[in-house]
Amino acid sequence: MLRVRRLDHFGVDVADLERAERFYTGVLGMTVRMRLPDQVLLRHGDGGVALFLKPDRAPGGLDQVKDPLGKSHHAFEVSWDDLQVARRLFAEREIPHHALIDWGDHDCLYFLDPDGNLLELVGYRPSPAA
């Protein structure tokens, strides 16, 4: 049996590399590690995302974010404060998103990238001061 250590990166199909790069860097704060003709490799924390150019890719539908639970997605952990910032930012930039979902010790915020890929931000509540 193998023991996976961590997720190194995951791939996302996009119809427009420049638009996707702007979103993942400008909205989600990722940094570019490498640009190739048909892909852009990004870093975030200790992980990565590979954007793959698929010009004929049909965008995902808004129905994904209207009822996101149980749908395939990628989730990123952010601070509790950044989760609150994301709500305002998504509203200001008209990024399709679902209302916060309360899971007890954390909230999650599902949203769509410009190609309709379903993504999630997870923010854990701060521990009460003892």
How open is the CA angle 32-38-39, to the nearest 5 degrees? 25
Residues 19, 72, single domain; the answer is no
Residues 74, 116, single domain; the answer is yes
Residues 39, 65, single domain; the answer is no
Look at residue 55 in the predicted model and tell me its pLDDT.
92
Look at residue 87 in the predicted model and tell me its pLDDT.
93
**pTM exceeding 0.95:** no
Per-residue pLDDT of the chain (130 residues; tens, 9 = 90+): 999 888 889 999 999 999 999 999 999 999 999 999 999 999 999 999 999 999 998 888 888 899 999 999 999 999 999 999 999 999 999 999 999 999 989 999 999 999 999 999 999 998 876 5
130 contacts: CB under 8 Å, gap ≥ 6: none
Residues 99, 128, single domain; the answer is yes
CATH of the domain at 41: 3.10.180.10
Domain that holds residue 105: 58-130
Residues 127, 91, single domain; the answer is yes
